[in-house]
Structure 1
């Protein structure tokens, strides 16, 4: 019987714009950036994937190109996505098995996804070796990952701030009651930081540097209880063309991100306006739940709470909430009506 179990293995995947996580045997087996490095002369040849590909990003010569196959939460480059998924699945078993297993795979997708985009995700998974593919909407997966009983007749609002999109969803009775999705999220924050340093310091920096600034001193408010120290940032002076270094504070970054966070606040208010009154009463008692990488932005929960006048809870380990929920749904795919075959 063990041999038959080997031939069908289950993996749950959070195929994100910024990071891809894979759960296998109840453990996060893969947690890598969603990026792949390809040989320009042979587009089917993968040179690196994940962290190794990210280290090459914006440092390549004419024979290598790095691709982020997902944009705004959906697949933008089908071939690169297929190659990336295939290579990431290989990381589940670093030692190549003699008989490769067939995969039963569950992938989470944005709730605003179109049928064409859904088909692209399914096809990519099948081309990468999946025999059975199930899809689940990200907000449902996030709610399961947080530990919410999605089947009870109680309203819960989930705010999932990922790399490409922010999804604001009200869930009750194992279904999505109302849903707002905006293309303001981690990638937009990174672009805001690049633009702010270009405008105010005449300093040109790359995506990787902006991402590191966001992680180290990213903030949603200019007044934090435990502020991070200023950090040195290296880039190219746009006036002289010579490399230079400046010091960047969290207040500067909070100012740079202000407009994007304001748009997220507006989307949350719009979603609350569309919420049926009985569910609104539940949300008033329970508050809002923040998940995704954007939830780690310093002071974001406090800022949202001040604006919306409701408690805001950050999920434990918000980066892994969605993939953990996807893993739970995969184990119980017969039980949940929202799992798509």
Structure 2
């Protein structure tokens, strides 16, 4: 069933979550780093890392989510720990399907007798091939029908921006695999800029920096932990912490004291890419909408928005007020949930 025929059913049939039409419906933020699932009458029912552990010899699923993430870098030869999404899109289709199937099982209650109808958030710069991969993976995981909404539009609804009004609203969503910059007006994206740079690239930059400057080899989990504890773009941040890894020359384990200034230097390249993407988004924006943004400012969402000082960097770069959303991690799935409860009203936000 296509979007038009589905919307016709909503308009002429039933339009509430207690109906049979919505008895099994969920919104999904399928992120590179984390997956979140929302059900209209229960709220957010699942928030797990987008990670799956598979036994190589049998292809059996060993674990998903937090349990699988804890295995990163710690498994034997017979277990493969996979992050099946990269840069906001599906990299490993079979692993994604298996992971989603487990997530569906965890999220759904026994009262559901129908396969779920799913509204999934996707990057605004997604290609047709990538769209097909998302649809196929969700359908094979158990979805009855798949609808798609661009992540910036869902995030804007989730933070309460007036997306339907003839007013320019600018949102910058810094996720695990992508940064989405969008100017939204009258239920559509008037200007955008999408780059495949986000929290994962920040982790990679820290790994490379520690290898190059301290001759220390660390893994992804250690890099993420350092980013969370010391990640800061503030010049006066003097904090430090210890990090353990392997000496790049001798191979012997060692502990190194890393300072916030070193992490700031490591993050310079991905942060510059985000800064330039915001500038490109503004350059594409029609003049009348720019005037609205001058008055209303820019809203930061996504896990990357919590990087200390990022809002100040963007304010200094653009001269515009920048604020971090009250719910930066969950606003995208919450917005998708709002859209899901009133699909006819928000039909213009959906991808065809």
Instruction: Give TM-score scaled by structure 2 length.
Output: 0.91
State the distance in 1 between where 2:101 and 2:193 align: 32
Partner of 1:64: 79
What is the 5 A alignment of 1:210-229?
A: 210-224=223-237, 229=239
Contact 1:7–1:100 (CA<8 Å) still a contact in 2?
A: no
Match of 1:311 among 312, 321, 329: 321
1:12 matched to 2:27? yes
SS at match of 1:180: strand
Q: Cα RMSD between the aligned structures? A: 1.8
Matched ranges for 1:159-238 at <5 A: 159-224=172-237, 229-238=239-248
**Cα drift, residue 173 of structure 1:** 0.3
Which residue pairs with 2:61 in the alignment? 46
- Please give the alpha-carbon distance, in whole angstroms, between the structure 1 residues aligned to 2:169 and 2:207: 35
CA contact (8 A) 1:7 1:102 kept: no
Residues in 2 aligned to 1:209 and 1:13: alpha-carbon distance in whole angstroms: 28
User: After TM superposition, where is structure 1 displaced by more than 6 Å over at least 4 residues in a row?
Assistant: none
* Contact 1:107/1:135 (<8 A) preserved: yes
Taking the aligned partners of 2:45 and 2:273, their CA distance within structure 1 comes to 35
Give the direction of change, closer, same or farther, for the CA distance of 1:137–1:218 in structure 2 (3 Å limit): same
| Structure-1 separation of matches of 2:112 and 2:189 | 41
CA distance in 1, matches of 2:73, 2:168: 44
1:157 to 159, 167, 170: 170
Q: In structure 1, what is the equivalent of residue 45 of structure 2? A: 29
> Aligned partners of 2:19, 2:339: CA distance in 1, in Å?
22
Aligned-partner Cα distance in 2 for 1:325–1:125: 20
Q: Is the 8 A contact 1:35 1:68 kept in 2?
A: yes
Consecutive unaligned residues in structure 1, runs of 5 or more: none
Aligned residues: 334
In structure 1, how many angstroms separate the alpha carbons of the residues matched to 2:282 and 2:135? 32
User: Which residue of 2 is the match for residue 107 of structure 1?
Assistant: 120
Distance 2:227 2:66 in 1: 18
Q: What whole-Å deviation, never above 9, does each CA across 1:140-183 have from its counterpart, x for those lacking one?
A: 00100111110000001110100111011110000011111111
Instruction: State the Cα deviation string for residues 273-308 of structure 1 (Å, max 9, x = none).
Output: 111000000000011110001001011101111111
Aligned twin of 2:70 = 55
Separation in structure 1 between the aligned mates of residue 263 and residue 319 of structure 2, nearest angstrom: 24
TM-score where L is the length of structure 1: 0.94
**CA apart distance, 1:190:** 0.3
